[in-house]
Structure 1
Amino acid sequence: MSAEGNDGNGPRGTGSGNWEGRSIHLIGVGGAGMSGLAWAAHRLGASVTGSDRSDSSYMERLRDAGIEVTVGHDPANVPDGAEIVVSTAIAGDNPELAAAGERGLRIRHRSELLAEISSSRRQIAVAGTHGKTTTTGMLTYALRELGHDPSFFIGGELPGFGPVGGAANSGWGEGEWVVIEADESDGSFLTLDPEVAVITNIEMDHHGRWENLAQLRGAFRDFAGKARAVVLPVADHELAGELIAEERSITPFDLSRPGPGELELAVPGQHNRLNARAAVGALMAAGFGEAESAAALSGFPGVKRRQEFKGECEGARVYDDYAHHPTEVRAALEAIREFDPERLIAVFQPHLYSRTKIFSQQFGAALSRADEIVVLDVYPAREEPVGPLAGVSGLDVLRAAADRAGGKPSYWARDLDSAERIVRTRAGADAVIATIGAGDITKLSDRLVAS
């Protein structure tokens, strides 16, 4: 069908931009979000360059597309007359950013470029503390299955959407819809103008940005208030009531609705069944039928690093997951439990000292659902263990897990090498291994299956 269904507000997506002749330089281009913007701007006709402090698979994809990207930050990387695009992670003393300021170049946050690029399409934007990457992937996959050619921006890699059938984190299609993973971590999702807004859930995270849950909920309220139609959890009566009062179309979702009584999915886990219900609701809000929306999701293969099967190690199946919040860790382990392993070995690397300090007990409770537990030290990303974060360690998580695990084997791994040694001694045909975290622990899963 053509999916032109809309109410009196009419379809969005009337923006336009003259991209030919524009020079855009992205500082920190090696991540999922920034690399996706670089690729789309290049596809639209802009001259795009970028840099990052270290190389990545995302940068390799940009090189393959003919985009000049550089490892390392140097003022010489910045083209004359370029628009400069940065993410929240770029510090003010970055040499390229400082040079751009001295030269009077236009400096923009990545969210502004995302909003500009997306303005030429009808937008489905997916926000939420958990599940937004997978739900965005589900919607992108389903729209293609329904005969459309969507554009998309995802904070992960979607198999089958890249060159030669590979994975991709962004794409610029010919269809009328763009599906966007909307980031609440820095408030940048408020720059979007969605026709359909999806809220998967609202839970505290990113404590450096949001003071409390009320403030965070207020931001989600503002995000949803921009949309014609909103898909949100059944349990969020308060937000639904506020939006109904403003004559927004509301589609609630839970494990049984919308959609048929049973959803056929290729991915495990109750959280994925919830994500799929949200996706069905968004497709229906976009004008598609209930049955065809549900059917279009049945073959969804998942997103890389979300319960991703990597191979085998000493006879054990190895899965890799990006979970970095206690709720996500619990959901990942519960999903992998559906494979019915005799032994589930969880290997967890905490991400950020601040998050570890706040959630160490909750991480321990989540990890105690495994049969054996291995914890690495914190992956610091942008943080240092100083001031109020001094003394924070992955040992805090291990102690909490051991306290709740009732004598289950629990191990401390100082680094990836020691984690690999421990896991190899514990692996066997009766086991499933789950490497979990948002840092470089994904390298461990690659190492485990390499031999």
Structure 2
Amino acid sequence: MNQPWSGRKLHFVGIGGIGMSGLAKVARSLGAEVTGSDRAQGGHDARNVPAGATVVFSTAIGADNPERTTGAPELHRADLLAELTQLKPTIAVSGTHGKTTTTSMLVHAMPGESYLVGGEVRSTGTNADWHEDSAWLIVEADESDRSLLKLHPTIAVVTNAELDHHTTYASSRDVDDTFAQFLARARDAVVAPDLTRLRADAHVFGEYDGPLAVPGAHNRKNAAAALTAIEIAQGTAELARELLATFEGAGRRFEVVGTANGATVVDDYAHHPTEVRATIEAARSQHPPRVIALFQPHLFSRTQREARAFGEALAGADMAVLLDVYPARERQEDYPGVSGLLVAEHAYDARPGMPVIWAKTHATARAYLQRALQEGDLLLTMGAGDVNAIGRDLVAHSEPPGR
């Protein structure tokens, strides 16, 4: 079979990332020669880039990265994804919240289609796959750097629209304008009921009313968005409804990690106040005696702007444990006075008397939770950084209940 990318050499900087690894996998399936490097596995070095390779990078990889200073031709990851969306009719899912879960629902409910998702689809055990004979390509479209505007969707889905990435967007209107441009690129559009302003002829989804294994009202909306797109793509969603009843979720999206001292440990990528609130509400729907929220703020800029909103969202738990900010691409010295303590103080102000623990470090949080967790508790580890390591460590070193 003729592989359209045969003979192409692609070097992925940060190949261990969830988005980059998926692209690398699909590129290899299409016949490209793929290499890559990652900070967590050997680091970055100009010598890693093979002769004749095109360097693929994401917005998170700065121009001063040694693998971007070799003089090799470069390609942003979104440009590569855009190429893929021209190979097959594409369903592209974007939105401030829920895009990974909604995309994963589409993958689960449309078996056999090609896909790239920003998280592991639990039912397939991977984040990407390519089937030469598939009718559709299903992709997650990233709005954080406006790269969604490079894609070529046939069906575009926007789950919701809120100001989140403050270094990219100047205002909520700026966010709206970007999503409107994204929707305009598609033959058909699917939006939440309050987003018809973004495209007048868009199909509107409501709230799914069928059996669903993943908890929370937000997931019922995600399922409704997925089903609406499936109806447009396939003309019916009857089989999809049956399959959605068995959807177990995506990696780091209300993912049950295990038990620790009799408590259920659930990990979630929630890193915006709306997501934190929705995740706590989903935990409440399980009716545990206590919901304990371990939260790691992500980015100093987001923490500075949203500290109060994060505190108010965390007040929905029975106990909040706070870590310091996961800096990602930002530097502490550029944000004097901004730390996780701000969120802890706002959480206590929002609900005086609620236990709020400023743990700051992983070690302190782990030690505290090891003592505090009780039989029947539901522990949420939330954030886009490395907070999930604490939950997994607690599970791995748990003592049997009643010790």
Q: TM-score, normalised by structure 2?
A: 0.96
User: Structure 2 residue aligned with 1:310, among 257, 262, 273?
Assistant: 257
Q: Distance in 2 between matches of 1:138 and 1:290?
A: 12
Q: How far does the alpha carbon of each residue in 1:364-385 deviate from its partner, in whole angstroms, 9 at most, with x for none? A: 0000000011001001111111
More displaced 10-residue stretch of structure 1: 22-31 or 292-301 = 292-301
Q: Which amino acid letter does the alignment assign opposite residue 172 of structure 1?
A: W
Q: Distance in 1 between matches of 2:38 and 2:235?
A: 41
Shift of 1:288: 3.1
Q: Which amino acid letter does the alignment assign opposite residue 6 of structure 2?
A: E
Q: Does 1:96 align with 2:67?
A: yes
Q: Does 1:139 align with 2:106?
A: yes
User: Structure 2 residue aligned with 1:86, among 54, 57, 81?
Assistant: 57
Aligned to 1:427: 373
Q: Does 1:29 align with 2:50?
A: no
- Secondary structure of the 2:391 match is helix
Shift of 1:287: 2.4
- Secondary structure of the 1:139 match is helix
Q: Which amino acid letter does the alignment assign opposite residue 53 of structure 2?
A: A
Aligned to 2:193: 234
Aligned to 1:54: 40
More displaced 10-residue stretch of structure 1: 212-221 or 130-139 = 212-221
Q: Distance in 2 between matches of 1:220 and 1:430?
A: 42
Q: Distance in 2 between matches of 1:407 and 1:90?
A: 43
Q: How far does the alpha carbon of each residue in 1:243-267 deviate from its partner, in whole angstroms, 9 at most, with x for none? A: x3xxxxx2101226xxxxx211111
Aligned to 2:394: 448
Runs of 5+ consecutive residues of structure 2 not aligned to the other structure: 398-403
Q: Distance in 2 between matches of 1:236 and 1:107?
A: 36
Q: Does 1:281 align with 2:228?
A: yes
Aligned to 2:277: 330
Q: Which amino acid letter does the alignment assign opposite residue 12 of structure 2?
A: L
Q: Does 1:222 align with 2:168?
A: no
Conserved 8 A contact 1:125-1:197:
yes
Aligned to 2:128: 170
Q: Distance in 2 between matches of 1:35 and 1:293?
A: 27
Q: Which amino acid letter does the alignment assign opposite residue 76 of structure 1?
A: R
User: Structure 1 residue aligned with 2:348, among 375, 396, 402?
Assistant: 402
Shift of 1:153: 0.8
Q: How far does the alpha carbon of each residue in 1:337-396 deviate from its partner, in whole angstroms, 9 at most, with x for none? A: 111011111100101111100100000000000001100100111111123x11100000
Q: Distance in 1 between matches of 2:336 and 2:320?
A: 25
Aligned to 1:155: 118
Conserved 8 A contact 1:284-1:293:
no
Q: Distance in 2 between matches of 1:189 and 1:240?
A: 16
- Secondary structure of the 1:286 match is helix
Aligned to 2:293: 346
Q: Which amino acid letter does the alignment assign opposite residue 130 of structure 1?
A: H
Conserved 8 A contact 1:269-1:334:
yes
- Secondary structure of the 1:386 match is helix
Conserved 8 A contact 2:311-2:350:
yes
User: Structure 1 residue aligned with 2:361, among 415, 428, 442?
Assistant: 415
Shift of 1:226: 1.1
Aligned to 1:68: none
Q: Which amino acid letter does the alignment assign opposite residue 113 of structure 1?
A: L
More displaced 10-residue stretch of structure 1: 324-333 or 229-238 = 229-238
Aligned residues: 395
Q: Distance in 2 between matches of 1:291 and 1:23?
A: 42
Conserved 8 A contact 1:251-1:281:
yes
Q: Which amino acid letter does the alignment assign opposite residue 429 of structure 1?
A: E
- Secondary structure of the 1:157 match is strand
Q: Which amino acid letter does the alignment assign opposite residue 279 of structure 1?
A: A
Shift of 1:17: 7.0
Conserved 8 A contact 1:325-1:363:
yes
Q: How far does the alpha carbon of each residue in 1:124-163 deviate from its partner, in whole angstroms, 9 at most, with x for none? A: 000000000000000000001xxxx1111111111131xx
Q: Distance in 2 between matches of 1:53 and 1:290?
A: 42
Aligned to 2:401: none
Q: Distance in 2 between matches of 1:395 and 1:336?
A: 24
Q: Distance in 1 between matches of 2:100 and 2:11?
A: 26
Runs of 5+ consecutive residues of structure 1 not aligned to the other structure: 1-15, 56-70, 162-166, 245-249, 257-261
Q: Distance in 2 between matches of 1:18 and 1:303?
A: 30
Q: Does 1:40 align with 2:26?
A: yes
Conserved 8 A contact 1:41-1:117:
no
Aligned to 2:323: 376
- Secondary structure of the 2:381 match is strand
Shift of 1:430: 3.1
Aligned to 2:142: 183
Q: How far does the alpha carbon of each residue in 1:60-91 deviate from its partner, in whole angstroms, 9 at most, with x for none? A: xxxxxxxxxxx211111111111111111111
